[in-house]
């Protein structure tokens, strides 16, 4: 997705996320878009779960996440977000990260399977990432290592591991928890196509074997892993979803997903069968 690409329908995107602010390359606009996007467009992996391709071309992403009322995962979210902010005049760079969230310290170094963005503004450089599932950022973070930064959905910090490598962390209760490692090497479309192929199709990929859905509320995080719903807000709630009918209802209501069958691209029976197989 190139800067100022005529292929991005800004009006449709802004209507999708409920944005009516100033269309300018400012920190205020970036922050507003970053807050609205993950509240309106859910994180979800229904396509890999159903064995369907995940396409990263601009037209496919816009059709799925904007027009069809679906969600997606990091490549789809952040490529869409990049195309929007680039069209507004921002200067962005796409980067790759190694996800360490929920990973044992002795598990070894994971591959680069996550996409994030850097946005260069006159006042500094900011990390933007609207596609990290249950721990998605709701505000851009200044690339200022060691500084704790408050967002509408929690406290985050970027630490410098050395001159070239950084670690994003979040504060949970009294502990800083690692989220992902990244460096500043620019990534290109071919890099994401390669990583996306693994994430969307490889038998070892969690996205092929599990249902993973997330969405932000105004002051709450909602996450669904297979049949387990987690709600993080003023109070924490965890419950198991017993039936396929309840899962379908939850996907449509709590997470705001227009299910694939409603969009005409997969049968109700196919989706229900995939949901029924969940552990």
Catalytic member of 34, 37, 77, 114: 114
DSSP state of 111: P
Q: Locate 12 and state its tokens.
A: 């449709």
3-state secondary structure of 209: helix
Catalytic-role residue among 34, 37, 47, 74: 74
- Give SS3 for 3: coil
Nearest alpha carbon to residue 211 among 169, 259, 261? 259
Evaluate whether 180 touches 113 at the Cβ level (below 8 Å): no
Q: How far apart are CA 5 and CA 219, in angstroms?
A: 34
Q: Calculate the alpha carbon distances from 16 to 33, 62, 270 in Å.
A: 11, 11, 27
Query: Any bridge partners for residue 125, and if so which?
Result: 120
Q: Which positions ≥6 away from 251 have C-beta within 8 Å?
A: 44, 213, 224, 257, 259
- Confirm whether 47 is a catalytic residue: no
- Please identify which of the residues 34, 47, 129, 153 carries the catalytic annotation: 129
Cβ proximity of 186 and 94 under 8 Å: yes
Radius of gyration of the chain (CA): 18
SS3 141: strand
H or E, element range at 230: strand 228-232
Give the tokens for residue 163: 């001159």
**Strands across the sheet with 221-225, in order?**
43-44, 212-216, 221-225, 228-232, 237-240
Quick one: DSSP state of residue 72? B
Instruction: Reply yes or no on whether 129 is catalytic.
Output: yes
The set of catalytic residues is 74, 114, 129
């Amino acid at each position: 997705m190139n800067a100022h690409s005529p292929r991005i329908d800004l009006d449709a995107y802004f209507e999708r996320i409920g944005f009516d602010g100033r269309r300018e390359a400012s920190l205020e606009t970036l922050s507003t878009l970053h807050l609205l996007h993950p509240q309106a467009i859910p994180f979800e992996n229904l396509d890999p779960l159903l064995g369907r391709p995940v396409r990263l071309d601009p037209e496919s992403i816009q059709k799925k996440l904007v027009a069809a009322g679906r969600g997606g995962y990091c490549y789809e979210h952040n490529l869409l977000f990049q195309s929007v902010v680039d069209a507004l005049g921002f200067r962005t760079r796409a980067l790759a990260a190694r996800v360490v969230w929920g990973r044992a310290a002795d598990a070894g170094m994971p591959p680069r399977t996550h996409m994030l963005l850097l946005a260069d503004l006159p006042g500094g450089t900011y990390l933007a990432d609207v596609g990290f599932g249950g721990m998605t950022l709701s505000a851009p973070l200044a690339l200022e290592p060691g500084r704790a930064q408050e967002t509408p959905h929690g406290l985050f910090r970027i630490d410098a591991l050395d001159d070239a490598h950084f670690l994003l962390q979040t504060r949970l209760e009294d502990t800083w928890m690692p989220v992902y490692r990244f460096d500043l090497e620019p990534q290109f479309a071919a890099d994401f196509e390669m990583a996306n192929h693994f994430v969307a199709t490889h038998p070892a990929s969690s996205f092929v074997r599990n249902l993973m859905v997330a969405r932000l509320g105004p002051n709450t995080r909602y996450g669904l892993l297979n049949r387990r719903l987690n709600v993080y807000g003023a109070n924490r709630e965890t419950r198991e979803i017993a039936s396929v009918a309840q899962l379908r209802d939850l996907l449509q209501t709590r997470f705001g997903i227009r299910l694939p069958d409603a969009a005409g691209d997969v049968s109700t029976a196919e989706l229900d069968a995939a949901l029924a197989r969940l552990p």
